[in-house]
Structure 1
Amino acid sequence: MKHSFRLLVLGASIVALAACATAPAAAPEPIASAAGPAAPPVAEKSAHDRLFELFKASDEAYLKRNPVQALFRGDLRYADRLGDNITDEYYAGEKAAAEADLAALKAIPRDHLDATDQLAYDTFDYTTKDELRAYQPDILNFTKVRPMNHFYGLHTFYPTFASGKGGAPFNTLEDYENNLKRHKDFVTYIDRAIGRFREGEQAGVVETKLTVRNMIEQLNEQLKMKPEDSPYYGPVKQFPEAISAADRARLTKEYRAAITDELFPVLTRLRDFLKNEYLGNAREGVGLMYMKGGDNLYRYEVQSTTTLPMTPEQIHELGLKEVERITAEMEKVRQEVGFKGTLHQFFEHMRSAKQFQPKSRDSLTQDYYRIGRTVEAKIPTYFSTVPKASLVIKPYDPFREKFEAGGSYEQGTPDGSRPGTFYFNAYDLPSRSTWGETTLFLHEGEPGHHFQISLAQENEALPAFMRFGGNTAYVEGWALYAETLGYDMGLYRDPYQRFGTLNDEMLRAMRLVVDTGIHSKGWTRDQAIKYMLDHSGMGRTDATAEVERYIAIPSQATAYKVGALTIQRLRDKAKAELGDRFDIREFHAQVLNTGALPLQILEQKIDRWIAAKKSS
C-alpha cells in the first residue's frame, strides 16, 4: 500500500508506558533496614519523557518492520532486507502497531504537556488513527489486491534503488552482498503481487485496463535490455577501490546471474500474467467509482490526503469556483497587455513568443539571482524567523537536466552547515518561459519549500516525525500559498509575471475538478484531458500525463490547492478577528514553527493563537 504506515511500540515499552496510565499514588516513606538505608525512590518520569520515549520506540520498531525506510535514512542495520510489506502477516503487524501506539499514547496525560508537546501528541494521534483506518477491511480489502500500477510500485522503484544511483549504498563489500540478498526479497514480492492481483480478480476488485497496459509497457522496456545494460547491473560498473579484484570478478558473475536467473524471469512472469490473464479482466472505467468498493475508498483517500473532513463533491465544487475565478484573472491580464485575440490564443502567444524565451543559460541564471535578491530584501517584512540554512540558486547539472522538472528544492542539513538548494532547469531554453520565474522561485525556494522544510528540521524541540515528516496538503499547500505572497510583495505588478502565477495556480485548481470528476463523477480519460486543455495553456502531452497520474493515484493531486486555500483562509480569519493586532510575521511563525501539521490540527493551533492574542 502507498500509505506511510505507523509504528509498533516494542512490547516491553508498551507495558512500561501502560503501567503509567493512572496518576501515581503518594510515594511511601523509605523503610530503613539492618542492611542500611533504603535506596531513594525512583523518580516518576515526566509526561514529556514518556511521550518522547513512545515516539522513539515506535520509530525504532517501524524501521525494523520497514527496512527500506531505515536504509533511506542511512541506517544499515537491516540493509540485507527489502521487507515483505504485502503479506497478511505484515498488514496485521502494522494494524497491531497502530493500535499499540494509540493505547500507549492515551496512557500519557495530555494536560501535563506543554503546548509544543501537545501538538506532537495531537499529530501523532491524528496520523496513527488515519493509518489505522487504512487497515480496516472495508479499505484494506480494496487496496492490497492492487499492489502496483504504472505510477507507483516496486517494479519501477526497485531498478533505480538497486542501480548504484538510487537510495541503496554501494560503498563496501557488504553493501554489494546485501543487494544480492535484497534481490531475493524482490523476487518473492513480485510473485506474491501476482497472487494479490489474482485475489482481486476473484473478488471483482481490479485495476484499470489503462494502468495495466502502461505497466506492461514499463516491463517490456526493462526486459528488452541486455543484462549488461540493465540498471541492476549498474553497481558492478562502478566498484569502489576497496573491493578486491577477486571479489569484483565474483560479484560481476553473481550480479549477471541474478539478472538472468532471478530478476528478469520474475519480471517476465509478471508481464505475462498482466498481458495474458489480468488485462482481460481489468476494468474499462478509469475512476474508482467503477470499482467494487471504490466509492468508499475514494472518500477515505480524499480525507486522508487533504487531512480535512471534505467530500469529493465539496472538492469538485471548490475546484470549479477556483477555475472560474482564475480564468477571470487571466482574462484581465490579456486585456491589460492589449492582446487582441481570444484567451486561448493568448495562451499560445505566452507559450511561443520569443520575448518570453531566455536568451541564454547565463541570462536565465541571472534572472533567478535577481529574483532571489528581490525576495530576500522583502522577507523581514513578512517573516520574523528565517532558516539558519542559506539558499543556493543554481541550474541542474547538464547530465540530468533533460529529465528533471522545471525546478525543485533539495533540503540542507538541520544544523545549517549545508545550504538548501533551489534548482532550476536550463534545458531546452525556448521552453523555459520567463513569465514563470517568480512564482517558481517563491514555491521551490524562498519562502516556499526552503523556509518550511528548513525551519521544521532546525527545530530540535520537535520529535523526529514532525521535524522530518509531513503531509502533502501542508507541505505543498504552504509552497503554493508562498506563491501568493508575490502579490503582497509587489512582485506581480508586472502582468506577465502575474500570468505566470495564475497559470500555475490554474493547474492546481483543475486538479480538484479533474481528480474528483474521474473518481466520483465517471469522467473518462479523454473528457478529463479535454477539460484541462480547454481551461489552460497546457500542451496535450502534459495534460495526458497529468490525467493518467490522477487515474493511478486517486486524491493525491487534490492536496495542493486545498492546503493553500486553508492557510489563506486561516490568515484571513486571523486578520479579521485581530484587526490592528494582526501581524503577518507572527502568523507565518505560527504556521511554520511546528512542522507539517495535518490541516485540522493547524487550524486548531491558529484558533488558540487568535484567542490568546485577543485575551492578552
Structure 2
Amino acid sequence: MRLILPFLALFLAAPAFAASPADTAFEKLAQADYDWSQADRGLIDGEDDDRVAPQLADVKPVAQAKRLAVLEGYARTLASIDTRTLSPARQTDAAIYRYQLDTRIDRLRFRTWEMPFNSDSSFWGNLGYTSARDFKTEADYRNWIAQLRQLPAWFADQTANMRAGLARGFTPPRMTLAGREASLDAIADASDPTATSLYKPFKTMPAGMAPATAAELRAQAAQAIRAAIPAYAALRTFLKTDYIPKSRTTISAAALPDGDAFYRAQIAEFATVAMTPAEIHAIGLAEIAAIRGRMNGVMAETGFKGDFPAFLTYLRSDPRFYAKTPEELLKQAAWIAKQMDGKAATWFGHLPRRRFAIVPVPADIAPFYTAGRGGDGVYLLNTYDLPSRPLYQLTALTLHESAPGHAFQIPLARENQDRLPFRRNLYISAYGEGWALYCETLGEEMGLYETPYDRFGMLSYQAWRAARLVIDTGLHSMGWSREQAQAYLRDNTALSPHEIETEVDRYISWPGQALSYYLGEMAIRRGRAKAETALRAKFNIRAFHDMVLALGSVPLPALDQAVDGFIASGGIGPYPKEE
C-alpha cells in the first residue's frame, strides 16, 4: 500500500516571513496544476465563483493519456523541490498536494474512466447537480446550453470508454446494475424537452433578464435538449442490451484487472491512512459492538417490550415513522435545518456566507439514489419510495448533508483566503464525510434529537457507517457475498430494505469509498478528546470546530497534526476575535 507522506507542520495562518526559493517553486507548481486542471475539466473557478462551466470535460482516451503525462510531469517537478527547505505551512501544502497528485495519477493508470458509472453514481446522473442549481447570469444559461449541445458526442465518448472497459473486464458487477438503464427513461422517452430535468433552470429565470433574452435562451435550451434525447435513448439501449448483460459476474475488487493493487489504491484515496483491510475490518467489528450497546439502551427508553430484531421490524413497518407526502418530508427537513440555525452560534464562531437549498432528487435518478446528498448550496433529499425514508433518521441525514455538515465544510473551505487555490477547492472523502458524520453525533449534544426514536435513528446511522468498514473489506478482500453484506446491514441497522439493497450495491461497485466516513469521524472525535484532555478549562468548542473547518479538506494525518497545533497554541482558533 502506498504510504501517505508525513505532515511535518500544520497551522492556520500563512507564514509571516518572506517566501523561500523552495516556497516560490512549490507555489508556482501548485498554481500551474490548479490552472491546468480547472481548464482541463471545463471549469471556471475563482473566489465565490460558482458559474456554470462552458464545456464538458474531454473523456476520450487521447485526452486521458495527455492528463497522465501532465500529472506525471508535475510529480517529477515536485520531486525536484527539496521539501525540507519549505516553510512549515508549505511543507503541509506539499504533503497534501502529493496525496492529491498520487490519487489522480492512480485513477488514470488504472483507467478508471473506462468505468464511468456504478450502481450509485453516473456521468448522466451527475448532470442533475448542475440542473438543480440556481443560475445567476446570462452566461450561466448560455454555458449550460453549450453543455447540452455537447451531450450527444460526450455520451458517445463515454460509451466508447465503457466498451473498452467491458473488453478487459473492468466493469461494475452485473448484479449491481440490474435496471439501472431505467434512470435514463425520463429523458430518453420525453416528447417535451421542457418537461425534462435538464430544462429545470429555465423554468424560473432572473427577474432582471430581458424578456426577449429569456425567450431566446429557453428556445435554444429546448432545441438542444430535443437533439440530446436520442443520445439518451441510444445509451439506454447500449446499457440494456450490451453493457449490463456482459458486465462481470464477480463481486470483489480483487477480481478486476490488477485488482489487489486497485483496492489498495482505493483505500489510500478514500481512507488516507496506511491500514490493511484486516485492520479496518477489525475496527468496524469493535465499533458495531459498542454502538449496539447504546442502541439497546435507547430501545429500552422507548418502552418497547420485544427484542432488538423485533424493534427493527417495528421501526421499518409502523406508518407513524414515515411521511405521507414528499412535501411533508421536505418541510420536516427544512424545519430541522432551521432548528440547527438557531444553535449554530453556540457551536461555531465562523459561519459560511453561502446558504443552501433543499430540493428533491430528480425523479429520473431517484430510484437508485441514496437518501440524500449535500454539497455547496444544495441538499438533495430523496422523496422516492417514502416508506423507505423514515423520519427517525431525518435529523441525522439533514445534519450530515446540510448544516453543519457539507453545507458548512465545503463553502468554508472555498471562502478561506489563507489557503492556496488547490486546497480551497479540494475534497477528500475521509475528511469531508468524516466531518459530516461527526455532525450527526454533534446533533445529540445540540439537543436536536427530540425523541428516543430520533436518537436511535442517529445511532442506526452510526452503525450503518461502522458496518461499512466490515462490509467493504469483507466484500473486496474476504470473499463476502452480496447476501452476507445485506444481512449484516439488516441485522445491525434500522435501514429500510430498499436502502439496504441500494447501499450494498453501492459498496460492491465503488470499492473503498465507504471506508472514508467512519474512519474520518473517528479521527475528529479522537482529536477533540485529545484537545479536551490537554486544554481542560481552556478548551473552546467553537474554536475547535473553527480550526477543523478552516483546514479545508485534508488527509487524516494532517488533521491529527492540526489538533497538535491547536493544543500547542493553547486552544486559540483561526478566528480569535469570534471566539
State the TM-score, normalized to the length of structure 1.
Answer: 0.72
Instruction: Choose 549-558 or 518-527, whichever is displaced more.
Output: 518-527
2:446 aligned with 1:479: no
Q: State the Cα distance separating 1:64 from its structure 2 match.
A: 1.9
User: How is 1:177-216 mapped onto 2 (pairs within 5 angstroms)?
Assistant: 182=147, 185-216=150-181
- In the alignment, the residues of structure 2 paired with residue 423 and residue 219 of structure 1 have an alpha-carbon distance, to the nearest angstrom, of 19
- In the alignment, the residues of structure 2 paired with residue 57 and residue 490 of structure 1 have an alpha-carbon distance, to the nearest angstrom, of 46
- CA separation of 1:91 and 1:485: change in aligned 2, threshold 3 A: same
User: Which residue, out of 531, 537, 550, partners 2:507?
Assistant: 550
Q: State the Cα distance separating 1:284 from its structure 2 match.
A: 1.8
Q: Which residue of structure 1 lines up, in the alignment, with residue 73 of structure 2?
A: 100
User: How is 1:187-586 mapped onto 2 (pairs within 5 angstroms)?
Assistant: 187-226=152-191, 228=193, 229-231=195-197, 241=210, 243=212, 251=220, 254-255=223-224, 258-259=227-228, 263-264=229-230, 266-350=231-315, 369=338, 372-373=341-342, 375-376=343-344, 378-379=346-347, 385-387=349-351, 389=353, 411=376, 435-436=392-393, 439-440=396-397, 442-444=399-401, 447-486=404-443, 495-574=452-531
- In the alignment, the residues of structure 1 paired with residue 20 and residue 171 of structure 2 have an alpha-carbon distance, to the nearest angstrom, of 51
- In the alignment, the residues of structure 2 paired with residue 429 and residue 156 of structure 1 have an alpha-carbon distance, to the nearest angstrom, of 21
- In the alignment, the residues of structure 2 paired with residue 133 and residue 364 of structure 1 have an alpha-carbon distance, to the nearest angstrom, of 38
Which residue identity is paired with 2:283? L
Q: Larger Cα Rg: Structure 1 or Structure 2?
A: 1
Q: Output one character per residue of 1:151-199: Cα deviation in whole Å (capped at 9) or x when no partner.
A: 33333334x478x656888836x955x6665456433333333333333
- In the alignment, the residues of structure 1 paired with residue 129 and residue 337 of structure 2 have an alpha-carbon distance, to the nearest angstrom, of 32
- CA separation of 1:213 and 1:367: change in aligned 2, threshold 3 A: closer
Q: Which residue of structure 2 lines up, in the alignment, with residue 171 of structure 1?
A: 138
Q: Which residue of structure 1 lines up, in the alignment, with residue 115 of structure 2?
A: 146
Which residue identity is paired with 2:107? A
With a CA cutoff of 8 Å and minimum separation of 6, indicate the structure with the bigger relative contact order: 2
Q: Output one character per residue of 1:367-422: Cα deviation in whole Å (capped at 9) or x when no partner.
A: 6655654x34742xxx5x43264978x9759999x97987776657xxxxxxxx88
What SS is found at the alignment partner of 1:469?
coil
User: Percentage identity across aligned positions?
Assistant: 30
Q: Output one character per residue of 1:189-248: Cα deviation in whole Å (capped at 9) or x when no partner.
A: 333333333333443434422345434333455433325455567788889745469967
Q: State the Cα distance separating 1:426 from its structure 2 match.
A: 9.9
What SS is found at the alignment partner of 2:114?
coil
> 1:285·1:524 contact (CA, 8 Å) conserved in 2?
no
Which residue identity is paired with 1:596? S
User: Which residue, out of 41, 56, 60, partners 2:31?
Assistant: 56
What SS is found at the alignment partner of 2:423?
helix
- In the alignment, the residues of structure 1 paired with residue 188 and residue 379 of structure 2 have an alpha-carbon distance, to the nearest angstrom, of 36
> 1:371·1:438 contact (CA, 8 Å) conserved in 2?
no
> 1:161·1:168 contact (CA, 8 Å) conserved in 2?
no
Which residue identity is paired with 2:513? Q
Which residue identity is paired with 1:154? F
- In the alignment, the residues of structure 2 paired with residue 437 and residue 165 of structure 1 have an alpha-carbon distance, to the nearest angstrom, of 21
Instruction: Choose 423-432 or 486-495, whichever is displaced more.
Output: 423-432
User: Which residue, out of 147, 150, 155, partners 2:124?
Assistant: 155
Q: State the Cα distance separating 1:65 from its structure 2 match.
A: 1.4
Number of residue pairs matched by the alignment: 542
- In the alignment, the residues of structure 2 paired with residue 237 and residue 317 of structure 1 have an alpha-carbon distance, to the nearest angstrom, of 51
Which residue identity is paired with 1:92? A
Q: State the Cα distance separating 1:256 from its structure 2 match.
A: 6.9
- In the alignment, the residues of structure 1 paired with residue 246 and residue 395 of structure 2 have an alpha-carbon distance, to the nearest angstrom, of 48
Structure 2, unaligned stretches of length 5 or more? 1-17, 572-579
- CA separation of 1:551 and 1:168: change in aligned 2, threshold 3 A: farther
- In the alignment, the residues of structure 2 paired with residue 587 and residue 237 of structure 1 have an alpha-carbon distance, to the nearest angstrom, of 43
State the TM-score, normalized to the length of structure 2.
Answer: 0.76
- CA separation of 1:134 and 1:399: change in aligned 2, threshold 3 A: closer
- In the alignment, the residues of structure 2 paired with residue 376 and residue 574 of structure 1 have an alpha-carbon distance, to the nearest angstrom, of 21
Instruction: Choose 268-277 or 227-236, whichever is displaced more.
Output: 227-236
- In the alignment, the residues of structure 1 paired with residue 559 and residue 36 of structure 2 have an alpha-carbon distance, to the nearest angstrom, of 28
Root mean square deviation, CA, Å: 4.6
Q: Output one character per residue of 1:47-87: Cα deviation in whole Å (capped at 9) or x when no partner.
A: 555544433332221122111565995557x72x3232231
> 2:351·2:412 contact (CA, 8 Å) conserved in 1?
yes
> 2:172·2:247 contact (CA, 8 Å) conserved in 1?
yes
Structure 1, unaligned stretches of length 5 or more? 1-42, 413-420
Instruction: Choose 315-324 or 279-288, whichever is displaced more.
Output: 279-288
- In the alignment, the residues of structure 2 paired with residue 571 and residue 532 of structure 1 have an alpha-carbon distance, to the nearest angstrom, of 29
